[in-house]
Structure 1
Amino acid sequence: MITVYFLLWLLTLLLGFYSISLLVKYLRNRSVINKVPSPPGHWFWGNLDNIIGHDPEIIFDMLRGYAEKYWPIYRFNGIYITTINLLHPCDIEIVLSQMKHLSKSRIYTLLKTWLGEGLLTSTATLYCVARENKNLLLLLLLRLNAGKKWQTRRKILTPAFHFNILQQSLVVFNEETEKLIEEIEMNSDKSCIDVVPLITQMTLQSIGETAMGLGNIDNATQLKYRESVYKIGKLLITKIAKPWYRIPFVYYFTQMRKEELQTTDFLHDLAYQLIRSRENILLKEHDDINKKTSYSGRKIVRMLDILLMAKMEGSDIDLEGIREEVDTFLFEGHDTTSMAITFLLLMMANHPNIQETVSQEISDVLGTGVPTYENLLELKYTERVIKETLRLYPSVPFISRIASEDFKTFTGYLIPKGTILHMHIFDMHRDPRIYRDPLTFDPDRFLPENCQRHPFAYIPFSAGPRNCIGQKFAIMELKAVLCGILRKFSLQHVDKPSDISFLPDLVLRPRGGVKVKFVRK
């Protein structure tokens, strides 16, 4: 009996010490992080009362106001979560350039019901820190768990973006651009066209064929897919703005959870259909796959092929892992690119002199032929136009990480381990301290002689070890689409940049679409 009492007393003592240590750590971190400037907030809600109940575009504009007022760093307080918002390229470099702060923050865990542990959401910090410090024991242990998942997936997927495969993808881009032009021609007599649905349809078809090896995705499925992605974005923002939805017990009984499950069930079912369809094609093409023949030397031209072959050859990826990557690339490969093309057309319509220069360069380089990979590399001015569009309208306006250790920012603040870090690309790209007259559309900012700026001051595809694996793919698609459209049409503005309001979402999404007038040449 004495032994039982002693053990209970010891357990209580240990729990007490542990609780006290957690409290001390919390208070220490709080005292440190509270030195970072912050908008005034409620004693309990923090700054959440500034966003709860407001329209999404008001929230977007409010965050832009915070960036301007509290540059180069500010704190945003919630009930139990505090985020540090970084706006200075030197601070952003500290986070993105190292093999330390690679784990995505909790905001990405809100996507895991949909994307699971895909390349966008999977963690990498422990594995990469162990590798950087040559900790062989930790590396060995991590081989048994998900700490190396991002590293493994990235290695498997990298060959899918080799320039030889990009060249083959260009055939699809040209074909889908022709279909897009046909759609525009059918509607060109209208006073204007909302380009968002047309461009989204085109980019979804493109990623479906180039990455998944599939033909046309029917219009009904496309529409439901787009609506589902938009719904996921709205659910994400709701969870951020209303933290009680992030309490599992509370969220379990809400209508929002039912909507999320229904939406993700559709998205998962679509991904599995794409996987099974492509797998059946591969099995028909290669009967000896059933004999487990190695295809390491085979020229594989699609991302899904590479994933399926990796699974067949015993790599560390299963069917669910393939589904995670299909979901990730269907989303990232079409939504981000569609927004980039949308804003590129908006800029062309609003800057006729620049549009004319791009059209002339396309004519000089391509003549009357179909764009080739080599042709697109020659479009230097067009590439500067694309870069300037992505400066003003980065498809992913912010990224988020978790501090893997204590560090001091360039701006002089100590950031404790475990802090959520938001890096606001949209605001940094429009910072007058970095870009003179930042709201002016000026492609010559990207002339070699004008690029003497901080290397992390322009990061439309993120930067460092977790940069966007598909950035060359995206740039090539933007060039191909612009070549096709400007050879057929002159663009005239209906919407002006000042007319566009933005929604806080998974990507930089305009509210109400973007309208352009197309005039046949």
Structure 2
Amino acid sequence: MLFWILLLISGVVSYLLLIKIPKRLAFLSKLAAVNGPPALPIFGNALEFQIPNNKILPLLKSYIDGYGTRLKFFLGLQPYILLTNAADTEKILSSQTQIEKSDDYDRLHDWLGLGLVTSGGEKWFHRRKQLTPAFHFKILEDFLRVFNEQCFVFKGLLEKKLEENEAFDIYPVITHCALDIICETAMGRKIFAQQKSDSDYVKAIYKLSEFVQYRQLRPWLHPDWIWRLSSAGRENQKCLKIVHEFTELVIRERKQERIEMLKESKENESKEEDGIYMNSKKKLAFLDLLLDAQETDVNLTDQNIREETDTFMFEGHDTTSAAASWITFLLSLHPEYQAKVHQELDDIFGSDRTRDVTMADLAKMKYLECCIKEGLRLFPSVPLIARKLTKDQILDDGVVLPQGVTIFCLIYYLHRDPKVFLNPEQFDPARFTHEKEGRSPFAYVPFSAGPRNCIGQKFAMMEEKVMISTIFRNFRVHAAEKMEDVGVLCELITRPEAGLHITLERR
């Protein structure tokens, strides 16, 4: 027995000395050309990140100030390369081969499975091609009806806030509107989040986002078995159960509805022959497009459909609500720019505060679009993008980033590069009145860029225009706090720490 124990120990030691350690040293030697803060053995820089969330961005800014726009740090034994310059960012995001999401996205697998956001390789290519028609112009035009209906409810809630005559946090009000929009466009189901914001489904969606960030910054919670044993992991499982059961129920019910609609359609065909049938085609949701695809693709299972539907819910409400909230608050701080928005909307709608927004109206909102773009520069909905290199990547100055390393493209500070944007902390919509000549397209990437850019960016821009125009067609908005008093959280989404407080004045 002793012989076998010694043999096992010697085998492990030999593996470490002859294979594992030399491979690790060779890997780290390739990173020597990249500067970064000193890291502790085993823990790396992880302990530095055990701070309140509103201190994460200042910590990263101190790294950038000290070590440049390309730097490395460690969370445990895992090295990360942080990029905040356009040239390096372009090398990563424009690549047709460096498209694998980092292992950090594994934290989303329990929630989103291997959907469009989390998958890679051939599965991603196939799914991206399959889902692209869902964002065709005609489909988006159909969704505009949902935007208008939910923004009518949204306007009513703002009227109530006006009557209360006190400052309030605009962020949750906009978020609930966005959640109603995305749930109806994604699943064809009304959840009335604006009227019932305390529903289990709404609360579970918010908590899941918080748990992903919480786990990411604690390397000791990365192993699945440890995470599931922790109190946060157990609460996370409860939220997953609520969200998945809701989506699965909607899929089952939608399938049954489609069977009944098909039956009704066949019956109406015979009635039409007698001249008594009027067509009343039911509006398609994102889920319907997936169910249509399932009829010709045997590999598209109900679980795949749930993954993509949950992904659309996750990506489609938090991002747009954050953007619309930040932009509304920025305009509340700058009445001179808000006045230009008012004038543009008056030119489009006149004194009519009630009629629906049309596609033609959206195309005329040129100045509002500049405000949205500038808001997304200062507060990109997704503050960073992560990739895991599948092969060595050579940068413009000859530095080689090794295969297997994780890249963080930190959009939040990429958009604040003073070499690209003069006075980068200043809100100035004029930056986008015409695209600046000579500026790299990878200096401004609020919807990512390259082959893995955001598939729903047109949807998002339309939704944000409808929501924001609803506010400024009807109200003057005044800030109830200063920008320097607002904490910014670098989570899955760029969030305000304690809300964005405003007051309203009827126009």
TM-score by length of 2: 0.89
Who is 1:118 aligned against?
Answer: 115
- Is 1:109 equivalent to 2:74 in the alignment? no
Show structure 1 runs of 5+ residues with no match: 1-8, 125-147, 291-297
Letter in 2 for 1:347: L
Superimposed CA distance per residue, residues 315-341 of structure 1 (whole angstroms, 9 cap, x where no aligned partner): 431000011011111111101000011
Please tell me the root mean square deviation across aligned C-alpha atoms, in Å: 2.4
User: Following the alignment from structure 1 to structure 2, what is the Cα–Cα distance between the partners of residues 221 and 322?
Assistant: 26
CA contact (8 A) 2:74 2:80 kept: yes
What does 1:53-452 align with in structure 2 at a 5 Å threshold? 54-124=51-121, 148-189=122-163, 190-217=165-192, 219-220=195-196, 223-287=199-263, 301-367=284-350, 368=352, 369-448=355-434, 450-452=436-438
Superimposed CA distance per residue, residues 149-208 of structure 1 (whole angstroms, 9 cap, x where no aligned partner): 212221221111111111111111111111111001011132212111111110011111
Who is 2:273 aligned against?
Answer: none
User: Following the alignment from structure 2 to structure 1, what is the Cα–Cα distance between the partners of residues 397 and 214?
Assistant: 32
User: Following the alignment from structure 1 to structure 2, what is the Cα–Cα distance between the partners of residues 241 and 216?
Assistant: 33
The DSSP-based 3-state class of the residue aligned with 2:140 is helix
Show structure 2 runs of 5+ residues with no match: 1-6, 267-280
Q: CA deviation at 1:48?
A: 1.2
Letter in 2 for 1:268: H
Q: Give the fraction of aligned pairs with identical amino acids, expressed as a percent.
A: 35
The DSSP-based 3-state class of the residue aligned with 2:478 is strand
Q: CA deviation at 1:277?
A: 2.9
The DSSP-based 3-state class of the residue aligned with 2:441 is coil
Q: CA deviation at 1:476?
A: 0.6
Q: CA deviation at 1:229?
A: 3.2
CA contact (8 A) 2:378 2:425 kept: yes
300 and 311 in structure 1: CA distance in 2 versus 1, 3 angstrom threshold = farther
The DSSP-based 3-state class of the residue aligned with 1:491 is strand
Q: CA deviation at 1:299?
A: 10
The DSSP-based 3-state class of the residue aligned with 1:448 is coil
Q: CA deviation at 1:40?
A: 2.2
The DSSP-based 3-state class of the residue aligned with 2:37 is coil
TM-score by length of 1: 0.87
Who is 1:31 aligned against?
Answer: 29
Letter in 2 for 1:382: L
Q: CA deviation at 1:449?
A: 5.4
Worse-matched range after superposition: 338-347 or 31-40: 31-40
CA contact (8 A) 1:346 1:496 kept: no
The number of residues matched between the two structures is 481
Q: CA deviation at 1:286?
A: 1.2
User: Following the alignment from structure 2 to structure 1, what is the Cα–Cα distance between the partners of residues 394 and 451?
Assistant: 21
253 and 177 in structure 1: CA distance in 2 versus 1, 3 angstrom threshold = closer
Q: CA deviation at 1:348?
A: 1.4
The DSSP-based 3-state class of the residue aligned with 2:284 is coil
222 and 272 in structure 1: CA distance in 2 versus 1, 3 angstrom threshold = farther
178 and 410 in structure 1: CA distance in 2 versus 1, 3 angstrom threshold = same
Worse-matched range after superposition: 399-408 or 495-504: 495-504
Q: CA deviation at 1:273?
A: 2.1
The DSSP-based 3-state class of the residue aligned with 1:76 is strand
User: Following the alignment from structure 1 to structure 2, what is the Cα–Cα distance between the partners of residues 336 and 489?
Assistant: 24
Q: CA deviation at 1:123?
A: 1.2
CA contact (8 A) 1:391 1:458 kept: yes
371 and 449 in structure 1: CA distance in 2 versus 1, 3 angstrom threshold = same
Superimposed CA distance per residue, residues 238-297 of structure 1 (whole angstroms, 9 cap, x where no aligned partner): 32222111134433432232122111111111211222232222222113999xxxxxxx
Q: CA deviation at 1:377?
A: 0.9
CA contact (8 A) 2:44 2:76 kept: yes
Letter in 2 for 1:396: V
User: Following the alignment from structure 2 to structure 1, what is the Cα–Cα distance between the partners of residues 197 and 120?
Assistant: 31
Letter in 1 for 2:322: M
CA contact (8 A) 1:491 1:516 kept: yes
Letter in 2 for 1:34: A
CA contact (8 A) 2:85 2:417 kept: no
User: Following the alignment from structure 1 to structure 2, what is the Cα–Cα distance between the partners of residues 85 and 488?
Assistant: 43
Superimposed CA distance per residue, residues 98-136 of structure 1 (whole angstroms, 9 cap, x where no aligned partner): 111101001100110111101111112xxxxxxxxxxxx
User: Following the alignment from structure 1 to structure 2, what is the Cα–Cα distance between the partners of residues 339 and 252?
Assistant: 30
The DSSP-based 3-state class of the residue aligned with 1:286 is helix
